[in-house]
Amino acid sequence: MGTKMLVPAVLCVLLGFAAATPLEDFRSNLEFHDYSSNVADPAYRLRPNVYPTDVKVNLENIDLEGARFTGSVEMIVIVRENDLEQISMHQNNLFVTRVNVVNNTNGENVQLRSPDPFTYDNYYELLHLHFHLPIVAGSYTITIDYRGVINTNPVDRGFYRGYYYYENTRRYYATTQFQPYHARKAFPCFDEPQFKSRYTISITRPDTLGPSYSNMAISSTEVIGNSVRETFYPTPIISAYLVAFHVSDFVPTVSTSTAPRPFSIISRRGATDQHAYAAEIGVEITNQLDDYLGIEYHDMGQGQIMKNDHIALPDFPSGAMENWGMVNYREAYLLYDPANTNLVNKIFIATIMAHELGHKWFGNLVTCFWWSNLWLNESFASYFEYFAAHWADPKLELADQFIVDYVHSALNADASPSATPMNWEEVADNPTITQHFSTTSYAKGASVLRMMEHFVGPRTFRNALRHYLRDNAYGIGNPSLMYQAFNKAIAEDHTFLSDFPNINFGNVFDSWVQNRGSPVVEVTRNPETGVIVIEQKRYQLSGEPPTQTWEIPLSWTEQKHLDFSSTKPRQLLNVTSTALLSEPGDNFVIFNIQQSGLYRVKYDEDNWRALSSYLNSNNRERIHKLNRAQIVNDVLHFIRSGDIDRTLGFEVIDFLRSETDYYVWNGALTQLDWIRRRLEHMPRAHEAFTSYLRGLMNNVINHLGYNEGPNDSTSTILNRIQILNYACNIGHSGCVSDSLQKWNDYKENNEPVPVNLRRHVYCTGLREGDRSDYDFLFNAYNSSENAADMVIMLRALACTKDLDALGHYLQESMYNDKIRIHDRTNAFSFALQGNLENVQFVSLFLQNNYDTIRTT
């Protein structure tokens, strides 16, 4: 699933209250525990003593206007033990009208209990089928007819309704988002990843709509009065959360050059001219993953060619969803308009497509056993998010961006005392399932995988992944199976075994999977002897960290022989402390080459001072840019945690006055801003630090300039975006002046602002302007057809200092159809971020409109 969850903390507090369940209702929901059943205890889980193998889902009477439908499910289940008195499965908000059970061994109907053949458990979201007499092990066919509702709030997921406007007409569509436990809202099912079945979907829709979509291609079409029934080919063996269907009048663009390997981009009418980039990069990413993993995507259909559809949705609660054959995306993350989509969003299209396509192998072909093992799905998808997209288009520089985007964010999250492990067994209920979709499963897991790749080497790493996929195809994965695959690949690599004999790679991997947080490697070097003492411990920003030990692959280089070309580790640190040798004398060391390992490095004072001197000299660029980014990011965290003298820390990062590299500044800006924001309650200190930052940035601003060059690299453009956005926010006079000129040219002369400069120019124009500036941009927002550009404008609208305009903005965020439900909570965040002086106004607005916000 797409990695970006955008609910601000203030709204979580205001909107997150759920109605309490009365104690007597809770007790009544436990009645099924008196039965011999397939329900575990606690009843959020089902036991695998009843297993579905083939499921037919038939949806009829789909009424988009009335948001309702009828359905039937026919499932073959294997009962694996005798004397079951009931079979339970998941359902949520379905009204069952008929249940029939047939014993497939003798073809006879199984008599159900009277007067209550089935009951609901709405607390645990279960449907219980009660038998008159206990049943024996064997094969059974269960048929269930029911009525259902189409959710009108996409945030509720399941089978939900969205809308769009075309030719001034409001049009509805219905689509699905089932992960992690929402398939039960569309049909009764075994709604856990461990239950994998073959699904056959049939949809009867009004003939006024276009062809429906599901995981597979349409196998047959039948006209029934004013409706059309479309039946799809059976899916490969998949979990219920990967089933998908979509009913609308959307329009596809099919890549004709891939005829035997179908690839389509699908969207609302009026946006088909924004399909081309996603189609181009998506086909190439698929080809790259086919080649890398040795199993071709289109061949995974178990008898059918797998479709490769990608659907852009105006309303979608997640970033994207990896349904096999039919990936759903938030529209801004799939549609590309070169005149209105900036480079950041273009990159996001490439990376989110790579993430979802990576899931086809990791998550779909081999599925995590339970959500506690979610990293087996998300870590690999997040790894390929960057590297498969990098293989498809190296000019995007995504292999390097992985460090500042994912390694740094993983280390930052792991600095919290409450950090969770990758393999987090605490899954007690549905809310704790949702908590697993976090930085730990995504960014940290991907960073651990990258570290393992650098440790074992790219060929052995790839072979391990191929072993895992081939050995467990269409089945369930768990960490032990992953470790087995790595040990198998390592056994075939004699070079690695000669460097690290008798290694148990499962233990190495598991230390990162099971440990909370991430380590800091403390380096103390004796210049007289050259002896380096290495110690490891868990890094935390606050509190006393518990004693933990990782098996850390160490790489390093020395000043006298600086070499950042090889990231292959030279030693495995699997104890608390050890000693290494370097050349004596003035000879600083740098550990974690190109930050290939997931750990911070803290040096002794002499080494810090030597590094500071070198970084502030003309030799700075001899230190790899990713290590310079590592150093500033580590030092700023150490300043926060008190692990370095503050004066020394700021001396080390003073080289930023001369630094012009995107990656180095990216490693610094978030942490520098954290310090600045902590001074907001002390106006004089806050202004002094802000002035220090403006001075620190002068050189990089002058180097980049205020305009884009025709030959600028990806990192140069990204650097200009991040530097000018921050510079204008902190009042850099040159940035503000240039932005106002560009804004006025846009407003007065209709001269469009260059797409990669719009965020800071729009915001500055509104921050320094009046109500007329707000109204001008608000009108542009309402007339836009590009979702990504609309998000840029929505963010900028919140920069206004005009309180009447700000009030209008907040009101519109609740009622304006153009502001999508997934952007409404973002609008409140943008209002708080736009100007510090807006905080009191926004807080008061939230208090006064709490009931409306909660229910809108």
For residue 10, the one-letter residue type is: V
| Residues 313 and 396 grouped into a single domain | no
pLDDT at 256: 60
Please answer whether residues 572 and 500 qualify as being in contact, where contact means their C-beta atoms are separated by less than 8 angstroms.
yes
Residue 598 lies in a domain: no
Residues 6+ apart with CB under 8 A from 732: 694, 697, 701
Residue 760 lies in a domain: no
CATH number of the structural domain spanning residue 508: 1.10.390.10
CA-wise closest residue to 264 among 245, 278, 284: 278
pLDDT at 258: 63
Please answer whether residues 559 and 611 qualify as being in contact, where contact means their C-beta atoms are separated by less than 8 angstroms.
no
Compute the distance between CA of residue 612 and CA of residue 653 in angstroms, rounded to an integer.
Answer: 7
Angle subtended by helix axes 758-767 and 787-797, to nearest 10: 30
Q: How many residues does the chain have?
A: 856
Compute the distance between CA of residue 299 and CA of residue 290 in angstroms, rounded to an integer.
Answer: 10
Element (H, E) at 359: helix 343-359
User: Which of 125, 284, 331, 356 does the annotation list as catalytic?
Assistant: 356
User: Residue 790's Cα: distance from chain center in Å?
Assistant: 21
| Residues 332 and 356 grouped into a single domain | yes
How many separate domains does the chain show? 3
Compute the distance between CA of residue 735 and CA of residue 511 in angstroms, rounded to an integer.
Answer: 47
CA-wise closest residue to 800 among 825, 775, 826: 775
CA-wise closest residue to 112 among 152, 85, 144: 85
| Residues 98 and 191 grouped into a single domain | yes
Residues 6+ apart with CB under 8 A from 640: 541, 671, 674, 675
* DSSP assignment letter at 460: H
pLDDT at 15: 27
Q: Which of 213, 234, 249 is the last residue of a domain?
A: 249
Q: Which of 473, 499, 514 is the last residue of a domain?
A: 514
Which segments within 271-313 are labelled E, that is strand?
309-313
Residue 463 lies in a domain: yes
Residue 79 pairs with which residues in a beta bridge? 50, 138
pLDDT at 21: 33
pLDDT above 70 covers a percentage of the chain that reads: 95
Task: Please compute, for residue 256, the number of CA atoms within 13 A of its CA located in the half-sphere on the CB side.
Answer: 0
| Residues 117 and 254 grouped into a single domain | no
DSSP string, 114-176: SS-SEEEETTTTEEEEEEEEEEPSEEEEEEEEEEEE-BSSGGG-EEEEEEEEETTEEEEEEEE
Query: Could you list the residue range(s) of the whole structural domain that residue 433 is in?
Result: 367-514
Residue 722 lies in a domain: no
Q: Which of 360, 385, 411 is the last residue of a domain?
A: 360
Residue located via tokens 């308009």: 337
pLDDT at 6: 34
Residue 284 lies in a domain: yes
| Residues 434 and 463 grouped into a single domain | yes
3-class secondary structure per residue, 596-664: CCCCEEEECHHHHHHHHHHHCCCCHHHCCHHHHHHHHHHHHHHHHHCCCCHHHHHHHHHHHHCCCCHHH
Angle subtended by helix axes 733-749 and 758-767, to nearest 10: 90
Tokens of 87: 């079979």
378 annotated as ligand-binding? yes
pLDDT at 209: 96
User: Residue 490's Cα: distance from chain center in Å?
Assistant: 30
| Residues 346 and 384 grouped into a single domain | no
Instruction: Name the phi and psi angles at 248, rounded to 5.
Output: -170, -175
pLDDT at 711: 95
Element (H, E) at 739: helix 733-749
| Residues 109 and 215 grouped into a single domain | yes
| Residues 502 and 395 grouped into a single domain | yes
Residue 683 lies in a domain: no
Are β-strands 126-135 and 84-90 bridged in parallel, bridged antiparallel, or unpaired?
Answer: antiparallel
Angle subtended by helix axes 505-514 and 479-491, to nearest 10: 150
Distances (CA, A) of 217 to 230, 264, 306, 308, 840: 10, 12, 8, 10, 54
Residue 545 lies in a domain: no
Instruction: Name the phi and psi angles at 461, rounded to 5.
Output: -60, -50
Residue 402 lies in a domain: yes
| Residues 329 and 382 grouped into a single domain | no
pLDDT at 29: 40
436 annotated as ligand-binding? no
| Residues 240 and 256 grouped into a single domain | no
359 annotated as ligand-binding? yes
pLDDT at 2: 52
**Is the whole-model pTM more than 0.85?**
yes
Q: Is 24 in the active site?
A: no
Over the chain (856 residues), the average pLDDT of each successive run of 10 is: 39 30 34 72 91 98 97 98 96 98 97 96 96 97 98 94 92 97 98 98 96 97 97 98 98 77 94 96 97 97 95 94 97 96 98 98 97 96 98 98 98 96 83 88 98 98 98 97 97 95 94 97 96 98 96 97 96 97 93 98 97 96 98 98 97 98 98 95 96 97 97 98 97 98 97 98 97 97 93 95 95 89 86 85 90 78
Sign of CA dihedral 702, 703, 708, 714: negative
CATH number of the structural domain spanning residue 99: 2.60.40.1730
| Residues 320 and 389 grouped into a single domain | no
SS3 category, 254: strand
| Residues 397 and 420 grouped into a single domain | yes
CA-wise closest residue to 335 among 278, 250, 387: 278
CA-wise closest residue to 340 among 717, 759, 664: 759
Please answer whether residues 310 and 353 qualify as being in contact, where contact means their C-beta atoms are separated by less than 8 angstroms.
yes
Tokens of 410: 């993983």
